[in-house]
Chain A
Amino acid sequence: MTLTEVVAGVLDVDPAEVTDESGPDDIPTWTSLRHLQLVVTLEEVYGLSFAFEEIRDVRSVGALRDVLRAKGTTAA
């Protein structure tokens, strides 16, 4: 499952709307609660865990992708 598919699924948006620049400011459903669900889902799907700081600081799809790649996830 790709990062875009997870983001679109959790935030309930069309995958075509999801870009690396997408974040809470331009996806209305990206609330603080959905942000956590997004992180938890990524942990579940990719079998990894985010640090508190990473959860707090990632504010875009691109930033999520960077964190996932830094953890060795190639599917992102």
Chain B
Amino acid sequence: MSTDLFALRTRWQAVTRRGPAPVLRIGLLASYTVDPLVPYLGLALHDAGLPATLTVGPFHQIVQQCLAEDGFPATVRPDVLLVAPRLEEAGAAGPAGAGWADELLAVAEAAVTAARRQGALLGYVLPAVPEARPCGAGDPMDAEGVTAAATAARERLRERLAADPGVLLVDAEEAVRAVGTRHAYHPALFRFAKIPYTEEVFAALGAATAGLLRRWYGAGCRALVLDGDTLTDPAPLLPALRELRAAGLRVAARAGADGWSTVADPELLPLLDGWVVDDRPPVAQLAEIAAELDLAPAHLVLLTTADPAAVTGPRDETTTDGGTTVTLGADPKAWGDELTAAGLTDRLPARRWTGGTRGESPAAGPAGLSLADFVSSLDVQVEYRPVTDAEVPQVAELVARAHDFALRPAPAAATLAGRTADLLAVRVRDRFGDYGTGGLVALTREPDRWTVDLFSLSCPVLGKGVEPAVLRELAHRAGTAGARELLVPWTDTGRNGSARRFLADLDLGTDPAVPVRAVRVDAAEPLGVAR
């Protein structure tokens, strides 16, 4: 597995360096760090003839970004908006999973609305059943247990979204199952970067998502091409080939000039809709087969036991013909099962929009939710406390990671250690949970003016109204101390987009106790220099 996934990621880097012009824009919003999905989804789409640009939005802000007029979907204007919430970030499960269901239905409604507004297809990732189960092995016996609650919430979501013709459903639980729970989680990834799954899970999720998108865009498999040079005895494949033909798939074969005996196998020949046996390169043969069957090259799947590059030649990452490959293992006895498991006849079900069957009341349901309503419903509580010398390493690490909301490049821990009297730690809680220390402020207090030298917030607390709440509190404290202004100098670090947008159009909601003035400076002075 390991080196295979590493090779895929390396190929994706090559594709992004030299790849073809994208035909799809895909925006990803998740309640967690979803960046590891990008190479696997991007590469699978590239290989399917659907090269895409993939952009990841702010994490854990799905509803806010979808509801805001200038949110992520409006900015990226994706062809496909992929939304991936987790139950672990959806608050309390509630009776029979009702709490989870309500939260994720709100996410779904916001995402559907945002996707429709942008004319985008919505890909909704059904959340996996949480792995943390208080009763452990006893969870299956608990009618209010994690599995029962998650299953109920997932079915509410499926019921709402499955029939919507503008929605594709992907299932994170299937990806976890495919990998196995022992290999699906890596504690360090979540602890340090809020990445809940291993690369294997993201690879499975990327493949499943790309498979659905292929079918949505009509690039699914229509014909299977046997590589006669490597499948010299096709007998083990015949039962599976008959089933695939019965399911509507066409079957063809290619071989070099010496491969006629394979193609002419008396049991295989009646199953073939076409064949090419000559000295031309396989790529040219496949193109002829596609033309003969009146299909696009993207509709062909080559069946081989060899490294695909050895059959069709090295990949040229500047182009994509869309054809894909199923590589069978060394044991012919397993070929039939491997071919069946490749999912070549997977298809999108016929759907008739019913609008869901539960009929959420507009007053009580999430359909009419506004951004202000949502933020207000979070019941955000912000607390401030001094920072002790012992806490400096922890807050320095927070500041070092808070790239998106920061006034300046992160200062060294030693710099913060010299200013502990000026520091305020920001603790944030909302109805989803306690985020602990989610921000840090450093102040220079002068009689007439307080200056915010440092204001950094971690990603999990952004988009909840914490940003203006902190500045209002600082303005209040400055006014109480007799100052007449709160100054917020900031610089463009190249990565602090959230802070830049917030400060460039400063809106604190209500009038602060003293005027708050955000001033952009070309280069922030080093922290610790007296003003």
Instruction: Assess the A36–B193 pair: CB atoms within 8 A.
Output: yes
Nearest-Cβ distance from residue A76 to partner chain B, whole angstroms: 15
| Chain B 1-47 interface residues, beta-carbon cutoff 8 Å to A | 1-3, 5-6, 9-10, 13, 33, 35-36
In this assembly, does A58 line the interface, its C-beta being within 8 Å of a C-beta of chain B? Answer: no
Docked CA distance A60–B154 (Å): 43
Partner of B36, one of A6, A12, A37, A52: A37
In this assembly, does B186 line the interface, its C-beta being within 8 Å of a C-beta of chain A? Answer: yes
Instruction: Assess the B192–A32 pair: CB atoms within 8 A.
Output: yes
Docked CA distance A28–B189 (Å): 21
Partner of A52, one of B9, B188, B193, B401: B188
Nearest-Cβ distance from residue B12 to partner chain A, whole angstroms: 10
> Known contacts being A32-B401, A52-B191, is A40 close to B35, with CB within 8 Å?
no
| Chain A 31-59 interface residues, beta-carbon cutoff 8 Å to B | 32-33, 36-37, 39-41, 44-45, 50, 52, 55-56
B residues within 8 A CB of A9?
6, 9-10, 13
In this assembly, does B444 line the interface, its C-beta being within 8 Å of a C-beta of chain A? Answer: no
Instruction: Assess the B6–A36 pair: CB atoms within 8 A.
Output: no
In this assembly, does B198 line the interface, its C-beta being within 8 Å of a C-beta of chain A? Answer: yes
Instruction: Assess the B2–A36 pair: CB atoms within 8 A.
Output: no
Instruction: Assess the B191–A44 pair: CB atoms within 8 A.
Output: no
> Known contacts being A50-B188, A55-B188, is A36 close to B195, with CB within 8 Å?
yes
Instruction: Assess the A40–B401 pair: CB atoms within 8 A.
Output: no
A residues within 8 A CB of B400?
32
Q: Interface 1/0s, chain B 59-87, versus A by CB < 8 A? A: 00000000000000000000000000000
Docked CA distance A9–B14 (Å): 10
Q: Interface size class for chain B? A: 20 to 34
Nearest-Cβ distance from residue B273 to partner chain A, whole angstroms: 41
Nearest-Cβ distance from residue B477 to partner chain A, whole angstroms: 32
B residues within 8 A CB of A32?
192-193, 400-401
A residues within 8 A CB of B35?
33
- Residue picked from A9, A36, A41, A56, most chain B C-beta under 10 Å: A36
Instruction: Assess the B5–A33 pair: CB atoms within 8 A.
Output: no
> Known contacts being A32-B193, A37-B36, is A44 close to B5, with CB within 8 Å?
yes
In this assembly, does A1 line the interface, its C-beta being within 8 Å of a C-beta of chain B? Answer: yes
B residues within 8 A CB of A1?
3, 6
Nearest-Cβ distance from residue A55 to partner chain B, whole angstroms: 5
In this assembly, does B199 line the interface, its C-beta being within 8 Å of a C-beta of chain A? Answer: yes
Docked CA distance A56–B192 (Å): 8
Partner of A40, one of B10, B186, B191: B186
In this assembly, does A61 line the interface, its C-beta being within 8 Å of a C-beta of chain B? Answer: no
A residues within 8 A CB of B33?
33
> In the complex, which residue of chain A has the Cβ closest to the Cβ of B200?
A44
A residues within 8 A CB of B191?
52
In this assembly, does A10 line the interface, its C-beta being within 8 Å of a C-beta of chain B? Answer: yes
> In the complex, which residue of chain B has the Cβ closest to the Cβ of A45?
B2
> In the complex, which residue of chain B has the Cβ closest to the Cβ of A56?
B192
- Residue picked from A33, A39, A55, most chain B C-beta under 10 Å: A33
> In the complex, which residue of chain A has the Cβ closest to the Cβ of B14?
A12
Docked CA distance A40–B193 (Å): 12
B residues within 8 A CB of A50?
188
B residues within 8 A CB of A52?
187-188, 191
Partner of B2, one of A10, A12, A39, A41: A41
Instruction: Assess the B192–A40 pair: CB atoms within 8 A.
Output: no
Cβ contacts A to B, 5 pairs, < 8 Å: A32-B193, A39-B188, A44-B199, A52-B187, A52-B191
Q: What is the interface of chain A, defined by CB distance below 8 A to chain B?
A: 1, 6, 9-10, 12, 32-33, 36-37, 39-41, 44-45, 50, 52, 55-56
A-B interface, 9 closest residue pairs, ranked by CB to CB distance from nearest: A44-B2, A12-B13, A9-B10, A36-B193, A55-B188, A45-B2, A41-B6, A36-B192, A33-B193
Q: What is the interface of chain B, defined by CB distance below 8 A to chain A?
A: 1-3, 5-6, 9-10, 13, 33, 35-36, 186-189, 191-193, 195, 198-199, 400-401
* Apart from A10-B6, A32-B193: 13 A-B pairs, beta carbons within 8 A: A9-B9, A10-B9, A32-B401, A33-B193, A37-B36, A40-B186, A40-B188, A40-B199, A44-B1, A45-B2, A45-B6, A50-B188, A52-B188
